[in-house]
Amino acid sequence: MVKKKRSIHETATTVIVDDVTSSEEDQAFTDISKNLAEIRKTKGVVGYILRSTTSATIDLKEPEKIVEYAILSSQVLDSSREISDLYDLGDVESILIEGKEVKALCMVIGENKISIFMEKDADHADILERVSP
């Protein structure tokens, strides 16, 4: 397997925020958040993490595992982007990771990163359909 070397450079960047875009992003975040709150009530859904560039919402049955779920979510999304770049696969729409007891459905919609955690027997295809634009 080919290993890809990464170098990290710190650079200063000036960002100018357009208020219209910001309010559109906030509205998208709010809409997705409402949708996830409804999905959270679905049998087998353990919780979710929704992150934008400025906000985050976390709703989990086991709050003591927030850090573990957050790290898993971040690693899955970062790794999928790296694999996609390495093999020139294009944009990744969604990622499903299955463990022994839990599975995670991760995706990016606009600037919003979404991870939905569920029991192994939950219908991830239905949840993906409900959350996708």
What CATH number should be reported for the domain holding residue 48? 3.30.450.30
**109 lies in which domain range?**
43-131
What is the pTM (predicted TM-score) of this model? 0.81
- Asked if residue 73 is part of any domain, the answer here is yes
Domain-embedded: residue 18: no
Residue 1 is predicted with a pLDDT of: 52
Backbone angles phi, psi at 68, to 5 degrees: -60, -45
Quick one: which of 123, 133, 132, 112 has its CA closest to 49? Answer: 112
pLDDT digits (tens, 9 = 90+) for 104-128: 999 999 999 999 999 999 999 999 9
pLDDT score of 43 more than 90: yes
Strand partners, 109: 112
In a domain, 25, yes or no: no
Q: What is the pLDDT of residues 60-114, one digit of tens each?
A: 999 899 999 999 999 999 999 999 999 999 999 999 999 999 999 999 999 999 9
Residue 31 maps to a domain: no
For residue 27, is pLDDT > 60?
A: yes
Residues 6+ apart with CB under 8 A from 95: 76, 77, 80, 104, 105, 106, 107
Q: What's the total number of domains in the chain?
A: 1
pLDDT of residue 26: 86
